[in-house]
């Protein structure tokens, strides 16, 4: 599907883009892969990695700017929407800016994609969008709902939208692992609550899920990968085994445990070997055999939370991953 196509990724100079672009070039060799983002310096630095590769293009623009976005989508077949204001405390203290990017940006992309005849759009979401407790999660839940509704909003147009939902992306900029690594030499790591747990996913797993969504989607699905959980105290012990822990309390907008699928989604959620799929409740799409595609309906009281997960990552496993990826952690 993606082979010899034109692909655009919004927010493409971020951690996900730095992994999605080389993996997609290697596997699918698209005709054109456009990185759309608003930071010219990040684009300049990223462009150096691809030299004279004519498949890779850079387009300065902001998802808040509908006209610029529409221009960028001209001739594009597939879109990955990764642009977001995502740091929880930043969103809490800058709510208007968060809404402009995460909500208005989603609306702009939906309109522009339909108008330009884009075939499929996959939007990146977060576990914080399920029963949100902070502004970032609330804006991403709104964004998810917009992309799901975009499939009926498109009318007779062929543009289709789906969502992929992630947990904590291991090693990405602004995430907990590089944060702990930067503090490890001080001998003390801040822990908000000793009970706190999080889902853990690698960037490569995230890219695989996006690829699968493009291949599988009919429109309106939320894809949730089965991934391990980890206690934050274990993450700290993996990074700095000898460091002490300073209990600082939960920050504004934080949850004790994250949730990918809540009980309100259970009646529309189907299980597969490596992932779950939440189908849209509107238009009885959750009963559509093409969308179900061999899945098994979960139990009515099903939830998928970081504290009730059946799969847990060990300290040794995380330590091995850190050693293997140390040169890249926090740098992309």
Q: What is the pLDDT of residues 7-27, one digit of tens each?
A: 999 999 999 999 999 999 999
User: Sign of the CA dihedral 251, 256, 260, 263?
Assistant: negative
Looking at the predicted structure, is the pLDDT value of residue 251 above 90? no
Question: Which pLDDT score is estimated for 330?
Answer: 83
- Let me know if residue 246 belongs to a domain: no
pLDDT of residue 12: 97
Q: One of 86, 128, 225, 226 is an active-site residue; which one?
A: 128
Is residue 317 included in any domain, yes or no?
Answer: no
In a domain, residue 108? The reply is yes
Has 274 been annotated as catalytic?
A: no
Query: Looking at residue 217, what is its pLDDT?
Result: 98
Q: Write down the pLDDT at residue 253.
A: 85
C-alpha–C-alpha distance, residues 42 and 172, integer Å: 15
pLDDT value of residue 332: 74
Q: How far apart are CA 42 and CA 18, in angstroms?
A: 11
Q: What mean pLDDT is predicted for residues 79-101?
A: 95
| Rounded mean pLDDT, 256-277 | 97
Report yes or no on 314 lying in a domain: no
In a domain, 251, yes or no: no
Domain hosting 160: range is 6-167+202-226+262-303
CATH number (domain holding residue 105) = 3.40.50.720
Please write down the long-range contacts of 19-24, taking CB distance under 8 Å and 24 or more positions apart. Answer: 19/203, 19/204, 19/206, 19/207, 19/332, 20/80, 20/82, 20/207, 20/210, 21/50, 21/56, 22/49, 23/204, 23/207, 24/207, 24/211
pLDDT for 331 beyond 90: no
**Is the per-residue pLDDT at 88 higher than 80?**
yes
Q: Does 316 map to a domain?
A: no
Residues 6+ apart with CB under 8 A from 170: 177, 200, 201, 202, 203, 321
Cα–Cα distance, 97 to 63 (Å, whole number): 12
Least confident of 228-232, 252-256, 291-295, 310-314: 252-256
Q: In angstroms, how far is CA 86 from the centroid of its own chain?
A: 10
Tell me whether residue 35 is in a domain.
yes
| Average pLDDT score over residue span 18-46 | 97
Listed in sequence order, the DSSP H helices in the chain are 15-28, 40-47, 66-72, 88-93, 95-99, 105-115, 135-153, 176-183, 203-216, 232-239, 289-292, 315-325
Query: What per-residue confidence (pLDDT) applies to 252?
Result: 84
Tell me the C-alpha distance between 56 and 184, whole Å: 37
What is the model's pLDDT at position 27?
Answer: 98
| pLDDT score, position 177 | 95
Band (162; pLDDT cuts 50, 70, 90): very high
- Residues of the chain above pLDDT 90, percent: 94
Higher pLDDT, 329 or 311: 311
Over residues 218-238, the pLDDT tens digits come to: 999 999 999 999 999 999 999
Q: What is the mean pLDDT of residues 282-307?
A: 97
Q: What is the pLDDT of residue 173?
A: 86
Say how many domains are in the chain: 1
**Segment 113-130 mean pLDDT:** 98
**245 within some domain:** no
Name the CA radius of gyration of the chain, rounded: 19
* For residues 204-208, average pLDDT: 97
């Amino acid at each position: 599907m993606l082979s010899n196509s034109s692909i655009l990724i919004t927010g493409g100079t971020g951690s996900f883009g730095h992994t999605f672009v080389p993996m997609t070039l290697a596997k699918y060799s698209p005709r054109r892969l456009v990185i759309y983002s608003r930071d010219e310096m990040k684009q300049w630095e990223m462009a150096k990695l691809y030299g004279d590769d004519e498949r890779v293009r850079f387009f300065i623009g902001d998802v808040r700017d509908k006209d610029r976005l529409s221009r960028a989508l001209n001739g594009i077949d597939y879109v990955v929407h990764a642009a977001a204001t995502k740091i929880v405390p930043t969103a809490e203290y800058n709510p208007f800016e968060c809404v402009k990017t995460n909500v208005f940006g989603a609306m702009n992309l939906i309109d522009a994609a339909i108008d330009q005849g884009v075939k499929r759009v996959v939007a990146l979401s977060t576990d914080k969008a399920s029963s949100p407790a902070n502004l970032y999660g609330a804006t991403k839940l709104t964004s998810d709902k917009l992309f799901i509704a975009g499939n009926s909003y498109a009318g007779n147009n062929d543009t289709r939208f789906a969502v992929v939902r992630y947990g904590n992306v291991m090693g990405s900029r602004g995430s907990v692992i590089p944060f702990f690594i930067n503090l490890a030499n001080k001998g003390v790591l801040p822990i908000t609550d000793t009970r706190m747990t999080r889902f853990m996913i690698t960037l490569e797993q995230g890219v695989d899920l996006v690829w699968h969504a493009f291949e599988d989607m009919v429109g309106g699905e939320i894809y949730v990968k089965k991934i391990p959980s980890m206690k934050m105290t274990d993450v700290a012990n993996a990074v700095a085994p000898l460091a002490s822990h300073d209990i600082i309390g939960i920050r504004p907008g934080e949850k004790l445990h994250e949730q990918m699928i809540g009980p309100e989604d259970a009646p529309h959620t189907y299980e597969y070997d490596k992932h779950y799929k939440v189908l849209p409740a509107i238009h009885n799409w959750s009963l559509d055999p093409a969308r179900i595609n061999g899945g098994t309906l979960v139990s009515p009281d099903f939830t998928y939370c970081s504290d009730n997960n059946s799969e847990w990552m060990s300290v040794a496993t995380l330590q091995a991953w850190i050693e293997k990826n140390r040169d890249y952690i926090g740098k992309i």
